């Protein structure tokens, strides 16, 4: 439990217990319960409880007003309520674009085992380092043991993801684990089938298949270390599981429901996922061949820029047949030179984020991820840090693309398949088969230069375009309260419109001053700007409200509209992120006044000094109309 465990337990008890909670969400100041029976809730007890501002009832919701720290209270209450449909309801209220939803699902699948992932990556790096310095050989028991410890998480990645994805999609965990294990079962992998001497039985859309299922061609693939296939399979299994529970009698459901899920889902997974990945891999292979024939520079740029994306979807295998063909026919290959710097571009992004991320939990991941990345193992960095934020991941791809273009220009070659990261450098020492001197290190030097190019581009772009992030308000921009007797602080208006006293706000939590003193603006322009230099402390996902703290210590809540949380972000757009440092006059939010009013909502903007208790005076202007940037509230 978190720091609000005691308060959370008291709230759950006084709303009638967890059995009385039908659903739970929160906005920027209050918990919003839907109770099965509101008569079981004790309004007076809750109103007088330390940590609760008041209780309100509106729109079928039982609202417990908490204040700016409501997200932390919500997390602790949610653990106590422990209803499966609660998190589903909360998730469904956030309308996301498909790509954003995919990123959220993938990052959510990796968060629970990031520690193990980082540890495994570091062990792989140490093992490769010891081999490089010839402390032992790749056939020694020490190497084999450490390799098993370090590689297991990555090799059996679909099993780990199956567990966490099952939690996300509400599938019984052991059913999910069975699906993940089936996906990586050795005998079903393409390399195993080919290695056992299986001959193609036919060809579909240009792709060979080696076996069938119930007479249907089954196009095999290599699923170890993959991510997306198992997420798709678990999602499908959750749908089958929900249907099976409805049609199978409860008396036999314990065994028959998981049996139906496995029998239906896994064959569909192999019959659908395998062909899709194989067809995409074949298409990419042909596409890369065409590009390489036109321009090695463009080819290197594409390989470098897309490598991490290809690995993410398990499509990097498209290049391996091309590499093997070159190595077999001429003893060297220049196809993979463009991907060498991808891990170093990722490292450079992490180094840049050290100057941007001040969230303790995330900072603890950065250094182990850098160490892992040096060895070419970037999964901890990608899934734990850069991919969830999207922009840093894109920047790493841009840096890798720049490095890949240089690799194409200088024709970087490998002479054997080998390690990743710095351990890929030995594979670039010439064997003399390309006309260069045996032992020449021209490709090694160019690979190092390409890595430095990728790192420089990625590091600079990270510093320029990634916002700062804080747990609370920390680092050098941390606002501090002025000492007693200091000069007054003038908070300018974040919006233009008509000024009303706070007592005329359309919500009692504001009008009664329960959250602090302030003013109300009826906007004439749908725009909110920063009323001072400070930091965005809170930005609610629906973008209807924002919490700021000034460089002098004033904490301000700007709430656009009354009950507009119900719009789920519709008609709102944000231009900043939580934790971002802002300057006075900087655009924060925009909103469509007419659309909000047409939807039946009041567009008043309560502007509240939430730390009113820290001041002897909080005075709002007496003018009737105001423009952005004009003095609205003075605190002393």
- Nearby residues of 484 by Cβ (< 8 Å), 6 or more positions away: none
Q: Which residues pair with 500 in a beta bridge?
A: 520
Distance, first Cα to last Cα, the chain? 38
Q: Is 559 annotated in the active site?
A: yes
Q: What is the four-CA torsion angle of 260, 264, 266, 268, rounded to 10 degrees?
A: -170
Which residues, in sequence order, are CB contacts of 144 under 8 Å at separation 6+?
A: none
For residues 335 and 443, the answer to whether their CB atoms sit within 8 Å is no
Q: Give the residue among 43, 24, 41 at the shortest CA–CA distance from 33.
A: 24
**What does each C-alpha distance from 407 to 319, 334, 346, 412, 449 come to in angstroms?**
16, 9, 17, 5, 9
* Pairing mode of beta strands 207-209, 202-204: antiparallel
Collapse the DSSP code of 243 into the 3-class scheme (helix H, G, I; strand E, B; otherwise coil) and give the result: helix
* 3-class secondary-structure state, position 586: coil
d(CA 246, CA 269): 22
34: left (phi over 0), alpha (psi -120 to 50) or beta: beta
Determine how many CB atoms are found less than 10 A away from the CB of residue 394.
17
Contact by Cβ (8 Å): 48, 42: no
Judge whether 188 and 234 are in contact, CB under 8 Å.
Answer: no
Q: What are the DSSP calls for 524-542, one per residue?
A: SSSEEE-SSSEEEEEE-TT
Token representation of residue 173: 């965990």
Bridge partners of 33, per DSSP, are 24, 62
Check 26, 316, 544, 559 and give the catalytic one: 559
Q: Is 26 annotated as catalytic?
A: no
Burial of 77 (0-12, 13-18, 19+ CB in 10 A): buried
Q: How many angstroms separate the CA atoms of 456 and 132, rounded?
A: 26
Which ranges constitute the DSSP H helices of 43-113?
43-47, 70-81, 84-92, 98-110
Q: Can you tell me the distance from the alpha carbon of 220 to that of 227, in angstroms, rounded to the nearest whole number?
A: 16
3-state secondary structure of 388: helix
Residue 197, classified by CB atoms within 10 Å of its CB into exposed (0-12), middle (13-18) or buried (19+), is: exposed
Residue among 26, 27, 109, 118 flagged as catalytic: 27
Token look-up 């603890």 returns 364
What's the rounded Cα separation, in Å, for the pair 445 and 468? Answer: 35
Which positions are annotated as active-site residues? 27, 559
């Amino acid at each position: 439990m978190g720091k609000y465990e005691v308060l959370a337990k008291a709230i759950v008890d006084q709303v009638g217990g967890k059995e009385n909670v039908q659903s739970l969400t929160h906005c920027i100041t209050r918990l919003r319960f839907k109770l099965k029976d509101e008569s079981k809730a004790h309004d007076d007890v809750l109103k007088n409880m330390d940590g609760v501002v008041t209780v309100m009832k509106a729109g079928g919701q039982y609202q417990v007003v908490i204040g700016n720290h409501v997200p932390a209270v919500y997390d602790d209450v949610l653990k106590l309520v422990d209803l499966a449909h609660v998190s589903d309801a909360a998730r469904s209220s956030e309308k996301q674009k498909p790509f954003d939803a995919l990123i959220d699902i993938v990052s959510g699948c990796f968060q629970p085992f990031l520690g193990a992932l980082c540890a495994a990556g570091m062990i792989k790096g140490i093992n490769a380092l010891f081999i490089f310095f010839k402390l032992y050989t790749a056939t020694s028991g020490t190497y084999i043991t450490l390799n098993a410890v370090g590689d297991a998480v990555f090799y059996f990645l679909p099993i780990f993801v199956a567990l966490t994805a099952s939690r996300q999609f509400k599938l019984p965990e052991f059913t999910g684990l069975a699906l993940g294990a089936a996906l990586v079962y050795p005998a079903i992998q393409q390399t195993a089938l080919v290695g056992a001497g299986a001959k193609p039985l036919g060809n579909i859309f240009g792709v060979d298949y080696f076996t069938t299922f119930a007479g249907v061609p089954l196009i095999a693939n290599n699923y170890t270390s993959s991510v997306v296939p198992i997420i798709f399979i678990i999602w499908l299994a959750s749908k089958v599981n929900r249907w099976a529970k409805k049609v199978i009698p409860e008396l036999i459901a314990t065994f028959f429901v998981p049996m139906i899920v496995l029998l239906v889902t896994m064959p569909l997974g192999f019959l659908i996922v395998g062909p899709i990945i194989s067809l995409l891999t074949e298409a990419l292979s042909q596409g890369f061949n065409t590009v390489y024939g036109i321009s090695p520079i463009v080819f290197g740029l594409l390989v470098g820029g897309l490598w991490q994306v290809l690995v993410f979807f398990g499509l990097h295998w498209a290049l391996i047949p091309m590499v093997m063909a070159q190595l077999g026919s001429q003893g060297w290959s220049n196809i993979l030179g463009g991907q060498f710097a991808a891990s170093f571009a990722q490292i450079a992004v992490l180094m840049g984020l050290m100057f941007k991320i001040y969230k303790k939990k995330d900072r603890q991941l950065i250094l182990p991820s850098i160490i892992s990345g040096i060895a070419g193992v970037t999964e901890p960095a990608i899934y734990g840090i850069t991919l969830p934020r999207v922009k840093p991941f894109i920047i790493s791809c841009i840096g890798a693309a720049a490095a890949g273009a240089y690799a194409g220009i200088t024709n970087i070659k490998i002479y054997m398949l080998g390690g990743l990261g710095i351990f890929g450098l030995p594979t670039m020492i010439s064997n003399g088969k390309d006309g260069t001197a045996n032992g020449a290190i021209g490709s090694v030097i160019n690979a190092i230069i390409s890595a430095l190019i990728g790192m420089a581009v990625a590091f600079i772009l990270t510093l320029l375009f990634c916002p700062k992030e804080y747990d609370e308000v920390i680092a050098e921009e941390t606002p501090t309260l002025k000492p007693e007797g200091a000069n007054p602080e003038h908070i300018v208006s974040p919006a233009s419109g008509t000024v009303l006293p706070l007592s005329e706000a359309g919500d009692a939590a504001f009008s009664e001053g329960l959250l602090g003193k302030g003013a109300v603006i009826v906007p004439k322009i749908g725009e909110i700007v920063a009323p001072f230099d400070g930091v965005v402390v809170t930005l609610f996902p629906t973008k209807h409200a924002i919490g700021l703290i000034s460089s002098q210590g004033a904490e301000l809540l700007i709430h656009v509209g009354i009950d507009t949380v119900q719009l789920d972000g519709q008609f709102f757009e944000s231009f900043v992120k939580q934790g971002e440092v802002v300057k006075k006059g900087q655009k924060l939010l925009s909103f469509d006044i007419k659309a909000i009013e047409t939807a039946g909502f009041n567009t008043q903007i309560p502007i509240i000094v939430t730390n009113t208790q820290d001041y002897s005076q909080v005075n709002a202007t007496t003018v009737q109309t105001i423009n952005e940037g004009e003095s609205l509230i003075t605190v002393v």
